[in-house]
C-alpha cells in the first residue's frame, strides 16, 4: 500500500500509521485465506512478526 499517494494531506507520522495498518490488514487476510500448519492464529502472529520487522527496517532507513 502506498500511503503517500492516498494521503496527500496527512503528515508523515499519520502516513506511517496508515501504512502499518494496511500491512496488518493484509497479514490478517492472508492468514485467513492461507493458514499454515499451525492454523490461522499462528499464521497471523508470524505475519505480524514480519510486519514489525519491516517496520524496524523502514525506521532504520
Report the C-alpha gap between 47 and 23 in whole angstroms.
9
User: CB of 30 within 8 A of CB of 48?
Assistant: no
Mean of the per-residue pLDDT values of the chain = 79
Q: Taking residues 19-36, what's their average pLDDT?
A: 88
Residue 37 has what DSSP assignment? Answer: T
Per-residue pLDDT at 34? 84
Per-residue pLDDT at 2? 56
Per-residue pLDDT at 52? 82
Amino acid at each position: 500500500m502506498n500511503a503517500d499517494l492516498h494521503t496527500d494531506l496527512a503528515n508523515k507520522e499519520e502516513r506511517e500509521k496508515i501504512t502499518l495498518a494496511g500491512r496488518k490488514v493484509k497479514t490478517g487476510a492472508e492468514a485467513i485465506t492461507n493458514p499454515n500448519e499451525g492454523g490461522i492464529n499462528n499464521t497471523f502472529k508470524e505475519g505480524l512478526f514480519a510486519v514489525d520487522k519491516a517496520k524496524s527496517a523502514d525506521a532504520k532507513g
